[in-house]
Every structure is written in C-alpha cells, then in structure tokens.
Amino acid sequence: MTTREVGLFGEAETAKYLRSKGYKLLAHSYRCRFGEIDLIAEKKGMLCFVEVKLRSSDAHGLPREFVDGRKQEKLRKTARWYLMEKRLDVPARFDVAEVTIESKDILRVKEFHYIENAF
C-alpha cells in the first residue's frame, strides 16, 4: 500500500465522520500555490478547514503534534486563498482529525479523535 493510499483512507474516514455529524463536504485535497488542505467542510454557516493526520503508532508523538507552527501558517495561507477565490466572507476555523490505524498493511481505524478549533 502506498503512502498516498493510506492517507486517502484517513481522509475518507474523516469525511465519513463529518457527514455523520451533519457537515457538508465542499472540497477534498484542495490545492493552490500556498499548499493543500485535506478537507473543507461546512456546518451551520461555519467553514472548517480540516487537516487529517494518520499514524499507525504514537511512538513519535501524537498526530496533532505534527501540525506545527510552519504547517499552521501554510494552512492559514491556503485557507485565505480559498476564501478569496470563492469570494466568501464567513466564519472559519481550523480542525485536526487524528486517525490511528492498526498498521499500514491493515487499514482499520484503531482510534479517531476530532479536534475543533485546533489552532
């Protein structure tokens, strides 16, 4: 299984979670010159820019810890571009989905945490 395939699994699981909570998915793997946002969703007028972090173990730290200051700034710039491109003036926040799987060979969710307003 490729790294991209494993990443797409985590994004699909997060999208499933968001839909079950009443979110409408607006974009998947949104890219521009500043970076990429895994998922963009909306619920009750709140736009959510979602970073999905998938790991098979937390031996090197929690998945959320990999959304460091540099990554946050890239996400902010990319989100600003999205808002400008779509001509949106709505409340927005940044969320992080932590997906822990059994292993890279066994794509089964072991743990899932969704953190609203992560930064």
Domain count across the chain: 1
Residues 6+ apart with CB under 8 A from 62: 98
- Please check whether residue 89 is in contact with residue 98, taking contact to mean a CB–CB distance below 8 angstroms: no
Tens digits of residue pLDDT in 91-108: 999 999 999 998 777 788
In CATH, what number is assigned to the domain containing residue 13?
3.40.1350.10
pLDDT for the residue numbered 106: 79
Q: Is 55 in contact with 100 (CB distance < 8 Å)?
A: yes
pTM of the model: 0.90
Q: What is the domain range of residue 101?
A: 3-115
Band (48; pLDDT cuts 50, 70, 90)? very high
- The tens digit of pLDDT for each residue in 49-93 reads 999 999 887 777 887 888 999 999 999 999 999 999 999 999 999
